[in-house]
Amino acid sequence: QKEVEQNSGPLSVPEGAIASLNCTYSDRVSQSFFWYRQYSGKSPELIMSIYSNGDKEDGRFTAQLNKASQYVSLLIRDSQPSDSATYLCAVKGNYGQNFVFGPGTRLSVLP
């Protein structure tokens, strides 16, 4: 059973702080990793994808991947109240088309 775990929320950070979201996965052959943001009542939107070990930065977002530790994280710098949402980690193996989603971490950025 392939599993994706995320740190339980809700996570609250003050505006301007760094929010750190964590995700671990069980399938060692996983190759593709994604972070989605989902606002309440809306569908998920892709914010980051990462395929290689190390850091990948896009604006205020940084994804970090460590395949040896089976760990992927998302850092949000200068957090804004508009970042308040549920963040979903998704993992995909090298073969097949199915993604496995984590349960999500709800982030609240307090003004």
Partner 1 sequence: GAVVSQHPSRVICKSGTSVKIECRSLDFQATTMFWYRQFPKKSLMLMATSNEGSKATYEQGVEKDKFLINHASLTLSTLTVTSAHPEDSSFYICSAIEFGSYNEQFFGPGTRLTVL
Binding site for partner 1 (CB under 8 A): 32, 34, 36, 41-46, 49, 51, 88, 90, 92, 97-99, 101-104
Q: Of the two residues 28 and 95, which places its CB atom closer to partner 1 in the complex?
A: 95
Q: Three-state secondary structure along 4-33?
A: EEECCCCEEEECCCCEEEEEEECCCCCCEE
Q: Which CB sits closer to partner 1, 25 or 34?
A: 34
To the nearest 10°, the Cα dihedral for 73, 107, 49, 27? 50
CB of 104 to partner 1, least distance (A): 5
Residue number, 3 or 78, with CB nearest to partner 1: 3
d(CA 46, CA 105): 15
